[in-house]
Structure formats: structure tokens, C-alpha cells
Structure 1
Amino acid sequence: MQKPWIALYPEGVPAQISTEGYRSLPDLLGQACKKHGRRRAAVFMGSDLSYAELDRHADAVAAWVQAQGLPVGSHVALMMPNVMAYLPILVGVLRAGMVLVNVNPMYTAPELRHQLEDAEVDMIFIFESFAATLAKVDRPARPGKVVLVSVGDLLGVKGMVLNFAARHIKHMVPRHGLEDAIPLRQVLRKGAGGTFRAPELSLDDVALLQYTGGTTGRPKGAMLTHGNLVANVLQMQAVARPVLGEECGAGMVMLTALPLYHIFAFTVCGLFAMHAGMCSVLIADPRKLDTILEAWRRDPVSIFPAVNTLFNGLLNRPEFEQLDFSALRLCFGGGAAVQKAVAERWHSVTGLPLIEGYGLSETSPVAIVNPTNATEYSGDIGLPLPSTDVVMLDSEEREMPFGEAGEVSIRGPQVMKGYWKMPDETRASFSAQGYFKTGDIGIMSPEGRVRIVDRKKDMILVSGFNVYPNEIEQVVMQHPGVLECVVVGLPSADSGEMVKLFVVKKDPALTESELREWCARHLTGYKRPREIEFRSELPKSNTGKLLRRVLRDEAGSSGASDAG
């Protein structure tokens, strides 16, 4: 196939990357810990963790996990925000030969139960503030081993003060009743006295189950192998070299405000930053912009991956313009489309353009990105990464000519092995030529630049997170007072898009507040409807299919979208 984009690569960016020299993801990360031992690996709430300390704690986690008798390849979930213990646990679980399962810590009990059961999770490391959610999950669905992580873990004396405040002053740790749960400090103490045996792992082995909603809304676990993730890290390193130099970021500061359980942050802020020897400044709650501003003042940022809503939020804080941008080298925009107005204002304030890219959980995630040495916002998603082929396919899987729209389809070493326990879904998502079909509609220019013109027709993107209408509708339809419902996405100034729910009542006494309470019990915050509208009937096709498109168009033309 033609690869015109290679001619647009900046000098020094190779057409292909090689994973030779790395046997697995723990091998890649272990080499980084040894090479950068004295450098800072992470900063959290003003405390530092060196790569040597990260390496030592990861060894302790690995030894303790193996001592629990789980076979290599068992599934271990991580359910926590960005706290200091996150990276050592991540590395330690992988080092023990286990498969990581990222879990959104804001999940409700029904959402958590589904993922734990589907992923067949044997052990979970969970932030203690969310342990009460796990306690609401039926005991048979809970993992056999539960480790409680606290905000002060690995922060020394300061950590003990923070833990006391979180538990007894701010009351941020609800009673949970998980009597058999083990605190992380005990895991580290016992693990430090043990040893672990490095398992035989290959690049073909699964390293991560990253859950993503399907086009039907049914969550699917993308099986990402060690090779997928190692390749994506090396691809990121290759395209970042023109602006980060030959050391490719060693010693630089990565502001990790995006949650590490999200694939964008997991790979870019977690794996890539560690491989490069960067210092990750961890932000537990990116909604608290004051925390980000304070962290930036303390450690001027070099690399800042974020979503459009976060860039916009910072720009709307007057203090942001007073920050030190002299160290800033690279600002990645992903997770959702970067808006032109935000990109232009960001450039004027910081002096750097927003470099937009594109990817999915199924592609580890980065597949397409703008040249990192670009001097202005491009308005498209850029060029395929090294070792990556991208084509636009029609409904018959025929490759579309340059300039004509088709389904963005990707083939490369970062593309997943398949969906966990879903062979039919896996087969349906790949073309006969082995391209992963994204469901997004794009156009490729003759030069190889890709522009997204449409996407999965019903998916809603709220602050960078995929929200699938079917999932919300299934929850709402379980309410005894609901006859019919439809969910659509509408533009929102503060979250990109928002969820709007249309309902036909079965019980005339049903109120909006009752529905909101119902959704709050069953859905994570970003999935909950921002607007609810009751109707006497909903539009249907001749076959009785509810027509989301009609409602979306009506709501849009009536100005019902959120103006922020």
C-alpha cells in the first residue's frame, strides 16, 4: 500500500520501529528503573519517589502477589485515582506475571460487579475511599484478595497525617466492612521480606484488559499484549524525539492530570513517561484546577497530555497565564476532539501548539498523531505512527481513494489481540486484510493526513470518556415508572458533549428527581443525564425502532444544548 505520510515525518522519525531488545513490558520498565534510578519517577502532593524506590516497591508488590499462589496470567484489577502507589503497584503486578485490569474508581456497584465478573478478576488493589462500593458487590463476584490503598501510602510521615485527615476529619473513607482486606503497607512489608521469580513472558502474552464500550454499549475488554504496549511506547518515543531530543525526555516533568486507569494516560503518562525517565507529577482529581496550578508552580511542566475540556478549564483561570511555561516542550490533545478556539488561545498563552492525535483502547491507544514539531494547530488528527498502516474502507471493505470518506481502519503492532471472551465481536471488528475497523469515518489527504468527519453515530463523548446510549437506556428502563426512553448526546461548552434523556412515563406520577436519583445509584457521574425531558411519545421508524437521530436533530435545532 502507499504510505505518503512517511514523507511528512520530521527528520529523525523512522518509518518503522523495532521491539527487539525487550522481552516484555516488565523488561522495558525494569530497564528504565535501573537506568534512571536516581531520577524522580513521581511527585504527589509535594513528595518525591525515585526510580530506585519505585523499583524496590514494585519488587515487594510482585513478591507478595506471587506468594498468594495465583498462577501466571491471573487477572488483577487496579481501582484507584492517581496516587503515589499507583505506579509501583502497576509495575509490580506486571512483574509478577499477572494481567492488569484497569477499573474506573467512580463506578457504581452494578458497573463494578459487571467488570469484575466479566474479567474474572482474582485480586484487586482498590483505593480505600471506594471500598464501600466493592462491599456492595455480591460476595461471589468479589475478588478473592482485596488490597486497600490509601492516599498517604509511600509518603512517609506526611502520609500518616494525610490518612488521618482523610479518614477522621474529612470523612472521605466510608465504612465498608471488608474484614479480609489487606492494607498496602502490610503488602509492602511482607513483600520486602520475600522474593519473586521472574516469569517467562513473551510479547504475545496479554498484559492488560482495557474495557471499552462497544457500539452496542456492551462493555468489552480489549486484550492488549506486552508487544502492543511496548510498541506504542516506542512509537511515542520516536515521534516525540524531534522536540524532546536524543534523551527523549529523561528528567523532564510530565503533568499527569488525566486518570491512569484511562488508556490515554496509562500509556502516555504511565508507561512512556517511565520508559523515558520522566518525572510524573500526579494529580488525583483533575477537576480541582487549583491542585494543577499549584503543582505546575512547584514543578514547571515539560509535557502535558490532556483533553480539550481541561485545556479550556485552565485557560479560563486568570492565574494560568502567570505560570512558568519556559520548560514546556509538548502538549498532547487526545480523548476528544480539540476545539480550534481552545487550541488558538492555548498557543497564544503558552507559546506552544496543541498536538492532536487519535487512538482507541483497541490501539493501545495512539495510532495517528500530528508531527510533534508542528508550529500551529492543524485541525486534523495528523499522520499514522511509524509501523502503522491506515486506510479508509467502505462497507464492502474496499480501500477508498485519497479524499473520499471511509471507515478509519488501522493495522500495526499496537493493535489489540482481540476482545476478551468475544470471538464473534473480534472477528467483526477486523477486515479480511487484518485492519481494525474503528467505526469512525475519516478522509485521508494525498499527503497522508487524516481528518475525522464523523464517528460512531450514537456514541457520546463526555470529557473524553465514551458514553453509550444503550447502557443508560437499559438502566432507565429498569425503573418501574418508565415506558420508553431514548438517550442522545448534545454539545456542551464544559464537557464537549452531554447526555440528554427523553422519557415516556408508565407511571404518571414519575418525577425528574426520582429519575435522577435512580441514575445516580446505577451510573457513574459522567454517564448521568444532564437534561431530562418527558414526552407523550417518541419518534419511531416503520419497524418500530426508536429514532435517536430525529430527537438529536430536534434538540439541536431548538437550542436545547448546554451553553455552559
Structure 2
Amino acid sequence: MTDYSAFITPADRAWQATYRKNNLDIQLTMPSGVNNLLDFFDVNFKANQGQNAITFMGYDISYDELDKLSLKIAAYLQSLGLAQGDKVAVMMPNSPQYLAVMMGIVRAGLVLVNVNPLYTAHELEHQLNDSDAKVLFIVENFAHTFEKVKNKGRVRHIIITGVGDMMGFKGVIINAVVRYVKKMVPNYNIPSKINFKDILKTNAKYTRPNLNLDDVVILQYTGGTTGVAKGAMLTHGNLIANVEQCMTYVKTGFTKPYQHGEYMAVALPLYHIFSFMVTMLGMKMGFALLLIPNARDFDDLTKQFAKYRPQFFPAVNTLFNALLHHKGFSSLDHSNLKISLGGGMAVLPSTASAWEKLTGNYIIEGYGLSETSPVLTFNPLGSYTGKIGVPFPSTDIILVDDDGNEVPMGEAGEICAKGPQVMKGYWKRDDETAKAMTTNGYFRTGDIGVMDEEGYFKIVDRKKDMILVSGFNVYPNEVEEVIASHEGVLECGAIGVPDEHSGEVVKVFIVKKDENLTEADIKAWAKKNLTGYKRPKQIAFVNELPKSNVGKILRKELRKL
């Protein structure tokens, strides 16, 4: 048993008593007998025997089947002669194959490299070469992208799967529809490819590797917002600790014991660390994972909610907001929904209020990054605060100024975190690791936050996104919250643009909910709710905002419009 009670040694700070009251008296103890993710999977497969693990396009796969299939994949990977710690890339949308392959990679003693399936050939080439991946699992819909990669690096084994490959005869029909009716599989020519179904027919011998909590298990590539994308090295201990930290909070959200077989809707892509970790939490809690292959297909997502009535729904602000405004979703019975979990980006008050009014369920907001496995802070269940909450057990957070000095309570500073969920470092980038860490071992998040008198933290904004108007700091998040609260606004994004008089001014991009909304309406609303230098001087109405595949609004793309 690993006890993290001595992991954190907080600095002596004026607001220590307030901070401790909300967090550090709760300490994390790792589960007995779980020394790596292999143990984690074993324990939970045993606990969930006979239960449904996955529901995908109406097809069910049990925990027992998932256990056997992932071990078969692990044995096959070992038969390729890979060394413990070798990297295996997975380029798939949400599907049963992703979960089986992910678990097979881990159980083989290898390192998972999550790849966004919508990457261009250039982006894929960078990630494959940077990670030194020797194997690539890829869904056939995107195989043509790999074919275009010029320098395929160390990749020697390319395993291609169809969407329905783990769904029996129904999967044969689905594959045929995807290939020949919907024509969603562009032509490709990869002579050395291996068929995923064929590896499920092999009978290689499996050898359980010796792994510990400090061994790297995932290279989770960042979005490259500060330069070239780099891989955060997450360990077995990082992920297990974060699941246990989440469990401390989430399990209290059920007034009566949750039932095996209840559904957790997994709409966010599993290659994203927030969805990945919450899905492992769902497995620990014994949920059936309702996999949604395309979260932007709101018609399908609404049908899935109607049919399966999930208890647990992790999402991002833009997804919550889209469902609120989607025809049919408002008429559903949401009484079975117990926890709505918000992450990945700030949950706006207007979205939280409308969601609670419609579903009777608060959006519980947390905060984290790829480098922190990902969750650092969480709000108490049963309320929306508009803040990111308090630090997780055995997690310490400090706020520092540009010189690295801690700021007083109530003042803004860069959020820096220390805890068992913080990454080991960046793969092959010691210089970037050094830049990301303070001299006393805290990870610099690049986010600006404040802590109030009750010990709750609030994100003000990304350090790099801050707008400087005549020497005054303006945080886009604050502007977006105000503009989004106007009844005629569907969603918005704010950036700073050059101005010869004030250095920068605020510009907002708005998607209308009310077609009669005007620039004068927005300026009047801003005048009522924002001080002068924070008010947008430029307003642009657009049909949609550029977003990541998780639904996060991309301000760097707004700057190109």
C-alpha cells in the first residue's frame, strides 16, 4: 500500500488555515495490492464479472469478454518481439477496439501513445517519429492518412481495424455500410498491413510483465499550444492516483448505491486524457460504458440519452450547451442523471444554469491538464460555483507572480501544482521539463488563477491569452462569461487584437441564438456588465467557432479569422 500522506509539504502561507480546511486534511491512500494498471484491471474485471462493460451502436460487450480480448491482444504484441516500454500508437475514435487495444498494450508492458484520428499526415508524422512508436493501431477510415506520411520512423507493424470488428455478425453489416454505402473509408494502399480480426484468432503465449507505479504507461501529447506538441510521460501511479482521487469525490454524488449495469455516456474522445481517466473511473465504479463514436452527431447522442438514460455524463461546456439547444433533448426524461461532470474548459454560468434548470442536475466542474493525468481540483458535488474548486487529496497548489513569488490570497497568479498525478516529465525534452517545473518541484500550468476566502480557486485565464489594454490586464474568460450570458448569444470567444492607442483591445466572435441580435445589443450589454477597458471594441458575428475535437474553443484559430 502506498501512502501519500507525506507527499505534500505545503509552504507556510498566510491563508494556510483556509486552504487546509478545504483540502489537505484529506489524504490519498492507494488501494492495497494495486502496484500498476495491470493490477487495477485485474481487480475491476473480477469485481464486474458477468456485467456489461461496453454498449456501442446497440451491441453489448461484457467485462469478461473485454478481459479475454485484451489479454489476447497483449499476447500478440509480445509475440512481435517488442521490448518492455516500447511505444504503441493508437489512432481510433471511440469504439470497443480502443478499449481492448489500450488494455492490451498496458497488459503487455508497453506504452500507449494516444493519437487524434483527425490528424493530418504532417501531424501524425511528427507524433510517430517523436514517440518512437513501433506499432500503430488505426481504424480503416483514416488509414489513407498514414499512407501519406513520408517518414514513417520506427513503425514496423500497422494493424488496421474496421468500426464493427468487435461486434460479431452485426459488425460485418456495419463495416459494409461504412465502406460501401456511406463511403467513409477512402482508398489506401498499405501492403504490410495486418488485419485486426486476424490477431484475435492467434494463440500467442502471454507473460505478465513486472511493472511498478513509477513506470511510464502513456505518452499523452499536448495540443502544441506553446509550440511543437510534446509527450507528457504519465506513469501507472499517476493514473491510479487520479482515479482514486476522483473516486473520493464522485462516489459521494450517489445518494443510494449506484447499480452495476447503469450507463456512463462516453461522448468525449477516449484519446483525450479527461475522457480516458473518467472512463477508467467508470470501470472502477462498475458502469456500462455507452460509447458515442461522434459527439458532434447531436441527433444520435440525443437518441442514446433517450434509450439508455445514463447516470453519469462527463462533457465540456460546448457539448452541454449544444445539447441544451438541440431539438428533442429538452423533452427527454433526465431523472436518472446523477452526475454531470464538466472539464476540458471553463463551464460558463449561463450553460450551468440552463443545464440545472432542464435536467435538475448541477454541472460539477473540475480542472486539470494532460500533464496532471488530468485532474487537479474539483468542486463539491451538488453545486455549481463558477470556480474550479479545491485541490484533490494529496495535491498542493500555489499561485505565483512572474518572479516565482507566492501571491497573497485574492490576488491573481500562475497556478502551480504538486501531487501524485503530476507527470514524470516530457518525453525526450529535458529542457521543456525544466521550464515546466519550479525549483521546489511544482508544475507550472500556464493558467492564471485566484483563491478566495473560502479556499476555492478560480481560473482567470491562460497566461498567454491575457489581453493588455492600456496597461490593464483583461482575461478573455471573464469577457466570454458576460457576453455568453446575453439571451441572444449561443456561444462566443474573445481575443486581443492590436490597437495603436491602447496596445490591444478586446474582440469577440459571436454565434447568434437570436438572429435579430445586433452589435449595438452586445455593446449595451457589455456596458452594463463590464468596466470600460474590458468591453469589446470589435464584434464579429460568425456561423460557428473553431473548436478542438474535444469541443474547446481555439483562440489561436480565432486570431486567424
Q: TM-score, normalised by structure 2?
A: 0.82
Amino acid at match of 1:120: D
1:393 to 2:400 alignment = yes
1:208 to 2:215 alignment = no
1:306 to 295, 298, 315: 315
| Structure 2 unmatched runs, 5+ | 1-9, 11-15, 468-482, 510-535, 545-561
Instruction: Tell me which residue corresponds to 1:174.
Output: 186
Distance verdict in 2 for CA 1:419–1:459, change over 3 Å? farther
1:138 to 2:157 alignment = no
1:7 to 21, 29, 33: 21
1:371 to 2:383 alignment = no
The secondary structure found in structure 1 opposite 2:142 is helix
1:406 to 2:409 alignment = no
| Offset, 1:246 | 8.3
Distance verdict in 2 for CA 1:355–1:86, change over 3 Å? same
Contact 1:305 1:333 in 2 (8 A): yes
Distance verdict in 2 for CA 1:370–1:75, change over 3 Å? same
1:229 to 224, 239, 250: 239
Distance verdict in 2 for CA 1:170–1:199, change over 3 Å? same
Using the alignment, how far apart are the partners of 2:142 and 2:508 within structure 1?
39
Using the alignment, how far apart are the partners of 2:154 and 2:254 within structure 1?
44
- Equivalences for 1:510-529 in 2 at 5 Å? none
Contact 2:506 2:538 in 1 (8 A): no
- How big is the alpha-carbon RMSD for the aligned residues of Structure 1 and Structure 2? 2.6
After superposing the two structures, state which structure 1 stretch, 107-116 or 20-29, moved more.
20-29
1:84-133 CA distance string (max 9 Å, x none):
21111111110000100000000000011011111111101101100000
Instruction: Tell me which residue corresponds to 1:433.
Output: 440
Using the alignment, how far apart are the partners of 2:492 and 2:359 within structure 1?
22
- Equivalences for 1:242-257 in 2 at 5 Å? 242-244=252-254, 250-257=260-267
Distance verdict in 2 for CA 1:350–1:337, change over 3 Å? same
Distance verdict in 2 for CA 1:496–1:244, change over 3 Å? farther
1:159 to 2:171 alignment = yes
1:431-453 CA distance string (max 9 Å, x none):
11111011111011232200111
1:150 to 150, 162, 166: 162
1:557 to 2:540 alignment = no
| Offset, 1:4 | 3.2
Distance verdict in 2 for CA 1:540–1:108, change over 3 Å? farther
The secondary structure found in structure 2 opposite 1:550 is strand
Amino acid at match of 1:256: V
| Offset, 1:7 | 3.2
1:61 to 73, 78, 82: 73
Instruction: Tell me which residue corresponds to 2:515.
Output: none
1:386-418 CA distance string (max 9 Å, x none):
111111112222222211111111100000000
Contact 2:277 2:374 in 1 (8 A): yes
Contact 1:77 1:123 in 2 (8 A): yes
| Structure 1 unmatched runs, 5+ | 461-490, 503-537, 542-546
2:124 to 100, 112, 131: 112
Contact 1:211 1:222 in 2 (8 A): yes
Distance verdict in 2 for CA 1:127–1:459, change over 3 Å? farther
Using the alignment, how far apart are the partners of 2:462 and 2:177 within structure 1?
45
Q: TM-score, normalised by structure 1?
A: 0.81
Identical aligned residues as a percent:
43
| Offset, 1:290 | 1.2
The secondary structure found in structure 2 opposite 1:85 is helix
Contact 2:367 2:376 in 1 (8 A): yes
Instruction: Tell me which residue corresponds to 1:196.
Output: 206
Instruction: Tell me which residue corresponds to 2:89.
Output: 77
After superposing the two structures, state which structure 1 stretch, 430-439 or 142-151, moved more.
142-151
1:441-472 CA distance string (max 9 Å, x none):
10112322001112132499xxxxxxxxxxxx
Using the alignment, how far apart are the partners of 2:272 and 2:304 within structure 1?
21
Contact 1:109 1:137 in 2 (8 A): yes
1:345 to 336, 354, 361: 354
| Offset, 1:178 | 0.8
The secondary structure found in structure 1 opposite 2:134 is strand
